């Protein structure tokens, strides 16, 4: 049994292994997502993240949640060699992703002209842990889209499992996390380019019993700049949408955050993603532009517990 509702610009789905506890789990998830939105949103002028950007180089006192989120975003940048970088905010804004996605897609893109600028780099972020502050140089804009939603899924799963005292699955768009005792055979998760795909139209189904699973895709969050079609997975060194051989990558890992870091990095790595994933022993399913599928790291050919 599950319940869904809009959150963080996508759809949040909560499932519980004990049906009478579903509402308790949903309440815990909704509270956690509200905290994440108030701390990490690029589109809320009152968020901690927005206040850092608008401080023009001054240190800003932020919530413990944003401190955690920023540490994880910096870790993502380090482990991917700078491919998953939280300083791509200006790159995304000038490319056209400057508002929540429904607003972006509702525009007439024929008259819009995107600009592409390189990200200044995660090394420009200064965290003062004892003071609880974060500072970036004036002009640096932050975006935690590659990590905060996945971190939110992990946090929601832990909070919901503790509140409901049963196994739970949390899905935030393509980011899935589980916690607590899973149902027999694990939690079934449908895999598709778009998280909104109807259950009967998913490409395949796998099952997870712990950790998380994330899917990154260049075929869903897209908009126009004149005759160009752009997407949200940005190459930090150029500010341009990634020109990848993969349109969709799904990865299973010990946490949804680690899975999302790997799926996003794989889009940016292109063909080199196969060796990168194998070295890290991460099960993954990669869909090429022509629709052909490559599985690596033990990703099951048929439904199985990952």
pTM of the model: 0.93
pLDDT value at position 197? 59
Q: Residue 55 and residue 60: Cα distance in Å, rounded?
A: 7
pLDDT value at position 200? 61
Distance of CA 286 to the CA centre of its chain: 17
Do residues 12 and 5 lie in contact, with contact meaning Cβ atoms separated by under 8 Å? Answer: yes
Domain ranges of the chain: 43-135
- Look at residue 202 and tell me whether its pLDDT is greater than 80: no
Q: Residue 82 and residue 216: Cα distance in Å, rounded?
A: 17
- Look at residue 195 and tell me whether its pLDDT is greater than 70: no
- Look at residue 209 and tell me whether its pLDDT is greater than 70: yes
> At 167, is the pLDDT very low, low, confident or very high (cuts 50, 70, 90)?
very high
Q: Residue 89 and residue 130: Cα distance in Å, rounded?
A: 26
> What does the mean pLDDT of the chain come to?
93
Q: Residue 255 and residue 102: Cα distance in Å, rounded?
A: 28
Mean pLDDT across the stretch 107-127? 91
pLDDT value at position 199? 59
Mean pLDDT across the stretch 129-146? 96
pLDDT value at position 219? 85
Q: Class for domain 43-135, per CATH?
A: mainly alpha
């Amino acid at each position: 049994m599950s319940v869904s509702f809009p959150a963080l610009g996508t759809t949040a789905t909560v499932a519980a292994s004990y049906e009478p506890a579903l509402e308790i789990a949903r309440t815990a998830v909704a509270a956690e997502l509200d905290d994440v939105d108030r701390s990490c949103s690029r589109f809320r002028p009152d968020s901690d993240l927005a206040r850092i950007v608008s401080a023009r180089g001054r240190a800003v006192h932020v919530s413990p949640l944003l401190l955690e989120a920023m540490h994880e975003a910096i870790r993502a940048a380090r482990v991917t060699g700078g491919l998953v970088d939280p300083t791509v905010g200006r790159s995304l804004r000038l490319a056209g992703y400057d508002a929540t996605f429904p607003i972006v897609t509702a525009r007439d893109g024929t008259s819009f002209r995107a600009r592409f600028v390189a990200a200044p780099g995660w090394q420009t972020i200064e965290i003062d842990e004892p003071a609880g502050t974060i500072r970036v140089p004036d002009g640096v804009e932050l975006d935690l889209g590659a990590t905060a939603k996945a971190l939110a899924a992990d946090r929601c799963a832990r909070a919901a499992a503790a509140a409901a005292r049963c196994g739970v699955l949390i899905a935030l768009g393509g980011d899935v996390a589980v916690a607590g005792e899973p149902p027999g055979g694990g939690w079934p998760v449908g895999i598709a380019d778009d998280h909104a795909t109807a259950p009967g139209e998913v490409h395949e189904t796998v099952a997870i019993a712990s950790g998380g699973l994330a899917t990154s895709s260049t075929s869903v969050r897209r908009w126009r700049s004149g005759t160009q079609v752009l997407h949200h997975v940005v190459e930090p060194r150029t500010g341009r949408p990634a020109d990848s051989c993969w349109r969709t990558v799904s990865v299973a890992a010990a946490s949804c955050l680690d899975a999302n870091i790997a799926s996003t990095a794989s889009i940016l790595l292109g063909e080199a993603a196969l060796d990168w994933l194998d070295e890290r022993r991460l099960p993954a399913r990669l869909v090429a532009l022509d629709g052909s599928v490559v599985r690596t790291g033990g990703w099951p050919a048929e439904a199985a517990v990952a």
